[in-house]
Chain A
């Protein structure tokens, strides 16, 4: 029965074939490679030939107290981004929506998308120039009299999280607002017209009509973001801007893997950390999905 269906749909299956092969080879075969977390991986013997070592690397992972910092920073940076940056694209979208001059609106929107297209390596370079002791930020603060001496932004561990948050705000606000702007255009005009007749002003209209209308989108995205919290901190930024001075606040799990795993040739250990990270991430995604079902009767998958 299905064999005949398969024959009938052979062309469709052929279309899907390259992607399926790619997925199997580049995505699912490496999953088999995760076994090296339970082995003592050696370069020459490879994945299959290396000796089993049980849970050694996982035990090591739980014994290493330096990972605590990495975990804390990963969550702290992601949470700060979530809490502080989540409302900004919404506000931006609301403002854009209130603009009457079409051209102005277009220009602002276009401009706001631009940081999204800049590579993180370039962003990191830019940050290091702007925040340098003789960079423009310090110069401006000095001129305004807000500081008396140039402030060493990248050397100050307490500043690192904020730098990450501001950078991310810069990079993603416009891009993330796209979806809200789209949701806003879907608000039926009749609602506004009715409100106008009732004598509501624009603030009231935003509060009473617009916001409730886009609430499902907001909740949905909030949940998606919560699910992604393990991946919220940017490896590129932490890796490229991290230095011994801010290390206690800049090291996140992926850079930890880099430093203690690959940088010391401990491939098995690095993989073990990766597995634990994936598991935590999965738990978060699944619970976010459950939340989503609870709030909107619709899962993400």
Chain B
């Protein structure tokens, strides 16, 4: 009886085993070459003219370790027109392996294992071992030996800014702003983080004025009376205090706060949480909460909570959004409908003149951190690697990665901007955007590919063709652009200029300080009364100081002085 049970059990397991394949991959198996993705299918759809040399039909398959979780279950390189095109041009196809988390354990254990390295490695964080211990190859050496054309596409001043101690560059950064290219895009801008209103409701209300913060409060209160449960919505950057799209950072602008998260007063870096304007901005957001206009967990992103934020966005019909209107689209299917939510001029805090206000778009002034795409020195295909990187840096590929294929994903409309034109998404894409879900959408269009976009995306491409839509955002026409005068005027002044760490202890110090800020921010917004807010504010700064704010500011000041000497403005 019992024996039979066990026998059948074993049989069952053996069956399962047989079903699921043969022996486990005891040795690393080379992936089967993705032969189906030869370039032939793509040529018809690619608009951008590229060099027309003949490439081998069978692409070289490179292994890439992507130090972040897999975003699209099942999407593979070469399944969409954009990656197919890149493969056709560079002769390289990728086999991507993802990490399970963003905690980098796997990256470090892989390095420590000393074997089976991929050809390419992409990490957004700082990994000193990669070049200190020669795991990564000098890109200069690679370019000199295999592909001098690499220098032609390398962004302006990249070599100076991102060179390491030996003067060579080892990685291609994702967030780099090429000042020369930026200058080539006159008038180009995105809409930065700002107050946003629900235009439909606002018109229904009879277009009440929104010039001051108090008027904003009035409108929100009225919306609440009209039935919106929580009329003020903070977008998800709310939980990232050092981001310029962060709600408190935006509120601070209304009090003519310092433009940057790290103030650089006379070359001395301080965190702007200490500024009066930040405190006032935070107090304002807190007062909205005290008025019952913000839902407590609106900005708390935890597992399972995403759905509820989505629900707030969908059902609660926010009247005022402090953040980026674009972000709401994540939560509101159908909000791709332009004009539903519209940014408006920063409302003024008490005693503030419009001319006092400056808002910075950090996207446009960025040198990136120390992470990026590395070529591992163990690669057997160094030439393919550098060819691939060179291809990714090409202008046409950059634009394609950011905006898709011209004439297919978008057309350039010259009606409003006669000289430069403006990118307009095609109707076919727009239709699929609302009806289709990723990764199907991505397979078809190759657009909205976050993985691809996060690999060596230069900042200028984001604003390229991406001029404000005047019909969609009538409020943001030329007026608001004047207000945002600093957008492309002063590159390299923000975040990542100073935060370019060179050892893990610095990184840890930074993590600890911002962690305290993050925690404190929640307490500030959710303070039940003014006294509690005052406490939360003081406590946050005290906690940040306790974990090393002073040391960090000193460090950042040193960095700031160092980088400003290198960069020519």
Contact = CB atoms under 8 A, between A and B. Distances in A.
Interface of A: 42-44, 60, 65-66, 128-129, 131-135, 150, 152, 154-155, 241, 243-248, 258-260, 262-267
A128 B304 CA distance: 7
Contact of A265 (B111, B134, B303, B512): B111
A258 B305 contact: no
A122 B355 CA distance: 56
B302 A259 contact: no
Interface of B: 103-105, 108-109, 111-112, 114, 127-129, 132-135, 239, 296-297, 300-305, 307-308, 311, 504-505, 507-508, 512, 515, 518-519, 522, 546-547
Contacts of B297: 133, 152, 155
A135 B303 contact: no
B504 A267 contact: no
Given A150-B308, A258-B105, A243 B239 contact: no
Contacts of B104: 262-265
19 contacts: A42-B129, A43-B111, A43-B112, A43-B114, A65-B546, A66-B512, A128-B304, A133-B308, A152-B305, A155-B305, A243-B303, A244-B518, A245-B522, A246-B302, A247-B515, A258-B103, A263-B108, A264-B508, A265-B127
A246 B133 CA distance: 36
A265 B128 contact: yes
B300 A245 contact: yes
A259 B129 contact: no
B129 A262 contact: no
A258 B101 CA distance: 12
B308 A134 contact: yes
Contact of B515 (A132, A134, A135, A244): A244
B353 to A, nearest CB: 37
Contacts of B111: 43, 265
A260 B508 contact: yes
B303 A262 contact: no
B300 A155 contact: yes
Contacts of B301: 245
A260 B127 CA distance: 13
Contacts of A131: 304
A152 B504 contact: no
A154 B308 CA distance: 13
Contacts of A259: 103
Contacts of A155: 297, 300, 302, 305
Nearest to A66: B512
Contacts of A243: 302-303
Nearest to A264: B504
Given A247-B519, A262-B108, 4 more contacts: A60-B505, A134-B304, A241-B303, A244-B518
Given A132-B307, A154-B303, A263-B103, A248 B128 contact: no
Q: Which among A44, A129, A244, A264 has the highest number of chain B CB atoms within 10 Å?
A: A264
B303 A43 contact: no
B129 A265 contact: yes
